[in-house]
């Protein structure tokens, strides 16, 4: 049943079984009607919660495109959230195109291919920033409604996301890099990663992979 909480209306919740395991799907709408989905895998009490915030990517998430790292990142995230025993994915279904919407995504992709450039240059040519993360302002309200731990460890390689979450009021204890194996990507996907790394603040940890062992994730329960 639909319920209103401040800016958010909860549309409903239900179990959802994925290849990574079972989540509780909590579906919300912002006042504008924009959907926000939280996939919750919380099986134990903890002082902290593992959080992944992801904007939609139709090509990477639904079509399995390897021209970007979105599909790999989502799969890795869901696995890690399940393994942590205390994880949440906050997903923005209508924020494709790095926040600018699907229409802009198509335009940017066309520019990339016609000019043979990466996404940063394509965004510059279109006169827009690389990404629009304004939707992250609603994340604290989502976390409060789903009643997870107030302190989070965030899965990301994007410092801009961390800055946005912190300025919105999320208490980020630790940043856990989410690095995709470039061998799983096309040449276009690899070029995108390289361009992001060289021209944005995106952090690359080329010498290390995240430690995704259960032991490492258990460590996230101990406040440091
Ligand atoms: Zn993508």
The DSSP-derived string for 129-148 is -S---GGGGGHHHHHHHHT-
- pLDDT given at position 191: 87
Residue 40 is assigned to a structural domain of this protein: no
- pLDDT given at position 201: 56
Across 143-163, average pLDDT:
91
> Measured in angstroms, how far is the CA atom of residue 222 from the centroid of ligand 1?
33
Residue 199 is assigned to a structural domain of this protein: yes
Query: Comparing C-alpha atoms, which of 58, 84, 85 is closest to residue 74?
Result: 58
Return mean pLDDT, the chain: 88
Residue 32 is assigned to a structural domain of this protein: no
- Number of separate domains in the chain: 1
Share of the chain above pLDDT 90, in %: 74
- pLDDT given at position 149: 79
Residue 185 is assigned to a structural domain of this protein: yes
> Measured in angstroms, how far is the CA atom of residue 178 from the centroid of ligand 1?
15
> Measured in angstroms, how far is the CA atom of residue 73 from the centroid of ligand 1?
9
Q: How many other C-beta atoms lie within 10 A of the C-beta of residue 146?
A: 19
Residue 29 is assigned to a structural domain of this protein: no
Residue with tokens 């401040």: 6
CA distance 116 to 96: 21
Residue 103 is assigned to a structural domain of this protein: yes
2-11, 67-76, 79-88, 104-113 — which is least confidently predicted?
2-11
CA distance 109 to 97: 9
- pLDDT given at position 207: 38
Residue 122 is assigned to a structural domain of this protein: yes
* pLDDT higher at 178 or 58: 58
> Measured in angstroms, how far is the CA atom of residue 59 from the centroid of ligand 1?
6
**How are beta strands 48-55 and 151-155 bridged, if at all?**
parallel
Across 130-158, average pLDDT:
93
Residue 9 is assigned to a structural domain of this protein: no
In this structure, what are the phi and psi dihedrals at residue 43, rounded to the nearest 5 degrees?
A: -115, -5
pLDDT in tens, 38-88: 999 988 878 889 999 999 999 999 999 999 999 999 999 999 999 999 999
Encoded tokens for 216: 């490492």
pLDDT in tens, 183-209: 999 999 998 888 877 765 555 443 344
Residue 176's DSSP bridge partners are 155
Residue with tokens 């205390």: 86
120: containing domain? 49-220
Would the pLDDT of 4 be above 80? no
CATH classification of the domain holding 155: 3.40.50.10990
Would the pLDDT of 224 be above 60? no
CA distance 30 to 32: 5
Encoded tokens for 136: 């992250």
Share of the chain above pLDDT 70, in %: 88
> Measured in angstroms, how far is the CA atom of residue 158 from the centroid of ligand 1?
14
> Measured in angstroms, how far is the CA atom of residue 216 from the centroid of ligand 1?
28
**Using 50, 70 and 90 to split pLDDT, how confident is the model at 1?**
low
> Measured in angstroms, how far is the CA atom of residue 68 from the centroid of ligand 1?
5
Residues whose beta carbons lie less than 5 angstroms from ion ligand 1:
57, 60, 68, 70
């Amino acid at each position: 049943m639909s319920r209103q909480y401040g800016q958010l209306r909860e549309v409903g919740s239900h179990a959802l079984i994925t290849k990574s395991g079972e989540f509780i799907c909590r579906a919300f709408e912002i006042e504008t009607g924009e959907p926000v989905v939280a996939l919750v895998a919380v099986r134990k009490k903890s002082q902290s919660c593992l959080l992944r915030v992801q904007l939609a990517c139709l090509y990477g998430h639904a079509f399995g495109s390897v021209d970007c790292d979105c599909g790999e990142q989502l799969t890795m995230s869901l696995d890690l959230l399940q393994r942590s025993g205390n994880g949440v994915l906050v997903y923005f279904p209508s924020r494709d195109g790095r926040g600018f919407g699907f229409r802009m995504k198509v335009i940017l992709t066309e520019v990339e291919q016609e000019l043979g450039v990466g996404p940063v240059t394509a965004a510059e040519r279109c006169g827009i920033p690389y990404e629009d993360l304004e939707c992250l302002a609603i994340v604290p309200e989502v976390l409060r409604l789903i009643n997870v731990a107030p302190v989070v460890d965030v899965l990301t390689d994007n410092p801009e996301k961390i800055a946005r979450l912190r300025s919105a009021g999320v208490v980020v204890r630790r940043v856990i890099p989410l690095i995709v194996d470039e061998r799983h990507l096309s040449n276009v996907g690899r070029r995108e990663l390289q361009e992001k790394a060289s021209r944005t603040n995106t952090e690359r940890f080329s010498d290390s992979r995240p430690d995704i062992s259960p032991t490492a994730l258990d460590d996230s329960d101990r406040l440091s």
